[in-house]
Structures are given as structure tokens and as C-alpha cells.
Amino acid sequence: MPKTDSILENGFILSEGMQLQKPINVNGAYQLRPSLSFGLPFQYLKGNLNLSTGMGMGRNPSRMNGEKNYLKNYNASQRIAINSNYSKSFDFSFSYNINLNFVQNVMQKNQFNPFMSQATSFLFNWKHNSRLIIHSSLNYNANIGLSTNFNQNYLLWNSAVSYRFLKSKSLELKISVFDIANQNNNINRNFSEIYVEDSKTDILKRYTMVSVIYNFRSFRNKEMEMEME
């Protein structure tokens, strides 16, 4: 990074504070991502309990101001999930995820950028007489360690109600509401050998959708007749 305006060999003018990036081949890059998963039946809730643990470490080499530099990143994650088919008319799932990330630039050791993200989700489906179906999902996300105004916690809540008509239950009317709390967000952290960037993307907020669905089952009936023959 020049302290004054500089003219490079190809005639390109590099102003004070600017950085010039170009691709080069440098040895020494690696990525390691071991993980472990474990599951067992959860009889009390008529479902399964699943646990997964992951770790990762990596190194990306580069050259900065003519000197070799490394961007090192480390991460650890833990997930717990419960899935249950509690009855013929009710099922649900719950999960919790936590991710810890650390990014360090070797040439700027004072810039050690740790951040953490957490996600908790719950969803269920309830059926009544195989005609009325209610679905709802809640996802709560929390970020810690990002830049100012990016450590935002938000709730994404979606729900839907549907009803099946006709004797064959082929006609379905469905009303869905997305992002009921109107808090949906998209926050990401990107990093390279020379910078760490937090970004926020505008996405679609709360809206309602009405759907009319008709299921054609003639092909299925023909297959059943052939099997009976």
C-alpha cells in the first residue's frame, strides 16, 4: 500500500492508500474439515435425537507489499436436533446450531476477528381428519462479534393453513404467511487476505400467498390396477 501516489511499471497510477490485487500462484494452502455425527432413538417423544460436531481450519497464502502473508481461519460447530412423529396427526422438529469462527491475518496479528452465530428452529405440522392441515415454523438467529449495526438478532416465522376438498381430497386451498414478524434478514461475513467485510442484503419481507392446488391421481390409479391384475 503506497504512502504517496506511485506509477507502476505498466504506467498504472496507484494513488495513496490504494491497493493493487492480481492473481499469483503461491504454495501452502490447505483446508481441513473433520466432522462427527451421532443419532439415537428418543422413545419418549417417538422420534430421534441427532448430534453433530464439526471443526475446521485453513490457511490461504498471498503476498502483501512483496512479503508472504497467510490468512488463517478456524471454526467449530455444534448441532442438536430432535425429530418426532408423535402421532398420525402431529409431528414436529427442533434444532439448535452454534458456530464459532476465528480469522487472523499473519501480518496484522492485532486483527483477530472472532464471531459467533446461533440458530434455533422449531416447526410442526398438525392434521385434522386428513383435511385440515396447519403448519408453522420459527427460526431465531443471533450474531455476535460482527461490525457495529450487524450484530442483529431476528425471528423468521412462517405459517400456513390448508384444507382439502372433494371426496378424493384432490382439491386443496392453502393460505401461507411468510415472515409474520417482519424481521427477516440476510447478514454475511466475507474475508480475504487483505480485508474482513460484513454485508447485509435486502430481501423480501412479510407477504401472504393464496394457493389453489389440484392433484391428478389418474396415473396412480392405473398403476394400482395393473398391480392388482
Mean pLDDT of the chain: 83
Secondary structure (DSSP) of 43-89: GGGTEEEEEEEEEEEEEEEEEETTEEEEEEEEEEEEEEEEEE--SSS
Which helix (H) or strand (E) is 90 found in, with range? strand 90-105
* pLDDT per position as a tens digit, 55-98: 999 988 877 777 788 888 899 999 999 999 989 899 999 999 99
Residue 40 has pLDDT above 90, yes or no: yes
Residue type, 176: S
Residue 196 CB burial class (10 angstroms; 0-12, 13-18, ≥19) = middle
Instruction: Of 154, 150, 153, 152, give the one whose Cα is nearest residue 196.
Output: 150
Which range among 94-98, 102-106, 108-112 shows the weakest confidence by mean pLDDT? 108-112
Q: Where are the chain's structural domains?
A: 6-228
* pLDDT per position as a tens digit, 65-76: 777 888 888 999
Which DSSP symbol is given to 168?
T
Q: What is the pTM of this model?
A: 0.75
Q: Which cell is 172 given?
A: 386443496
**Which residue in this structure is represented by grid cell 502473508?**
69
Give the span between the Cα atoms of 71 and 101, in whole angstroms.
13
**Which residue in this structure is represented by grid cell 390448508?**
162
Give mean pLDDT, residues 119-127: 96
**Which residue in this structure is represented by grid cell 492473481?**
23
Secondary structure (DSSP) of 104-116: EETTEEEEEEEEE
